[in-house]
Structure formats: C-alpha cells, structure tokens
Structure 1
Amino acid sequence: MTGVIQVVGGAVVDRLADPTALLVARRSAPEHLAGLWEFPGGKVEAGEAPETALVRELAEELGIAVRLGAELPAETPDGWPLNGRASMRVWFAEVSSGEPTPLEDHDELRWVQLQDKEEVLGLPWIPADYPIVHALLDSVAALVPKSPARD
C-alpha cells in the first residue's frame, strides 16, 4: 500500500507471559472520537521502525516504558485497516517502568479483565478497533490451557 499512514498500537497487558488484564485508553480528542476507547499508540514517523514508534508513543501518551512482546497478526501485511488512508499494527506490551497516566489525547485509562469478554467488548471502542479487539481476545484465549486443573 503506497501512501498509507502507518499507525502502531499497544495491547498493554499486565504480563506478557500469561496476560489477564488489558490497559485501554479513552480518547479525549478529536471531538468525533472523544469518549471512545482504543489501544494507545500513534503514527510512525518517517524513517522510524514501527516498534520504536510504539515505545516512543507509549512514553509520550502514558508516561511508561514498555517491553514489547509478539505482534498481533493482522488481516494484511500493512496491519489492520483503520480507514482508507491508515492501517495499524498492534503489539503486546508490558509496563517495565512508570505508572500509566493519561498524558496526551486521553482522559481515562482502565484495566479490563481479558477473561470477561462482555466487559471488554461492552466498551464503546473506536469502530475500526473492534476487529482488533476480537482478534486479541481470541489470541489470549488460545494461550489458556484447556486443562480442568487450571484455576
């Protein structure tokens, strides 16, 4: 895709090894997105690697340093389509230092339990993020052992 704006998002979880909670961010701007939830992140700058952009964006928006995990497989090699001009790639991330705080573009952060699909899907997400949320929940569910001995 030529001319597509590359956006990166962080699926910030409580721990990469066995995630149980996801940090979500509520937009405060622009007006048409205010009040909707999203994966924190932002645009990749010219010449910047997507992973570097995500680390930078999470520091700027939330005041945290992160350790990146696996990329959430997307529908296309360019990532998840957001609109006709932009696509987003999403990585799992774990806070390595700092306390998440809404510094830019958000007015609230919330940890949601990944096992409670109704809680996660019940949030008013930015519409383009819904397919990503579903894929993330499926990905995390696939990590859970099917053994009845697990509590």
Structure 2
Amino acid sequence: MPTQIVVAGAVIAVKEGRPAVLIAQRRRPPELAGLWELPGGKVMPGESEPAALARELAEELGLDIDAITVGERLGADVVLNRINPAMTLRAYRVELVRGEPRADDHQALRWVTSVELPNIAWVPADRAWLVDLARALW
C-alpha cells in the first residue's frame, strides 16, 4: 500500500511586534485530543502538496484559498510507519495574505513565539520540527 502524504503549514506572521507561528489544538482522535499541531491534512490523489495544504488550511481555518501562499519546505519528513497506511508528514512555510484564522476544525488556535515552542504540549510527530520552527521565527 502506498504511503499517505500529510502536509502541515507553518503559518508565520508578526504578532505584537514578534514573529509567531499559528498552532492548532486537536479535537480528535481521543489519544491526540488537546495536543497542539501545525494545521494541515492529507494530500488527495492527483493533488500537489502545496495545493493540498492551501485547501486544507482554507477548510480548517475558515479562510479563502487565495488568501494562502504556500512557500518552501520546513524541516525534514516525519515518517509514521506504525499506522496503516504508513504516513509521511511534510511541513511548509505559509503566508496568510489576508484574513484571520478561525478554529473551525480545532478546539483552539494560538500564535506562539520561538521562546514558547518547547513548552507546548505538541502531538508527538510535530516535535520533530521544533528546531526548524524556532529557526524560522528568528
């Protein structure tokens, strides 16, 4: 069975004069509920990774798809082999051209700075990107 690609967006913006990244608190599944992640989702067959990420962010954050600009990759792939099908997570830098994100698909949204990153209750897979996120926020 082929590997499912899951894309995540490091939405970076200046908040209160400092660079911050948008994180989302999961509602489900029960074992991940309440933990924080970079928002995103699955790439559908025939869809490019940037197009999938823009679509997922628009759906999850209540934004217009043309208000999202997907940039370069951030960090390395995170491979989850213990689930079926196996998943590969990929993060991308994202710019919001306009609009204010809403927690349509999550319990909550939060903007965090590089100093706050280590103190967040992250989903385990997203912890792999913390160094890259901190570097992107400096």
Both structures adopt the same fold (TM-score exceeding 0.5)? yes
In 1, distance between residues paired with 2:135 and 2:100? 27
Q: Which amino acid aligns with 2:112?
A: V
Post-superposition Cα deviations, 1:10-60, rounded to whole Å, max 9, x if no partner, equal 000006xxx711000000111111000000000000110000000000000
Match of 1:145 in 2: none
In 2, distance between residues paired with 1:82 and 1:13? 25
- TM-score by length of structure 1 reads 0.79
Asked whether 1:60 is paired with 2:62, we answer no
Percent identity of equivalent pairs: 43
Higher percent of residues as strand: 2
In 2, distance between residues paired with 1:120 and 1:25? 13
1:1-150 map, 5 Å:
3-14=2-13, 20-64=19-63, 65-74=67-76, 79-84=77-82, 85-104=86-105, 106-114=106-114, 116=115, 119-141=116-138
Post-superposition Cα deviations, 1:64-118, rounded to whole Å, max 9, x if no partner, equal 23112221141xxxx22234411111111111122100111x110000112x1xx
RMSD value over aligned CA atoms? 1.7
- TM-score by length of structure 2 reads 0.86
In 1, distance between residues paired with 2:134 and 2:59? 26
Structure 2 runs not aligned, ≥5 long: none
Q: How many residues align?
A: 129
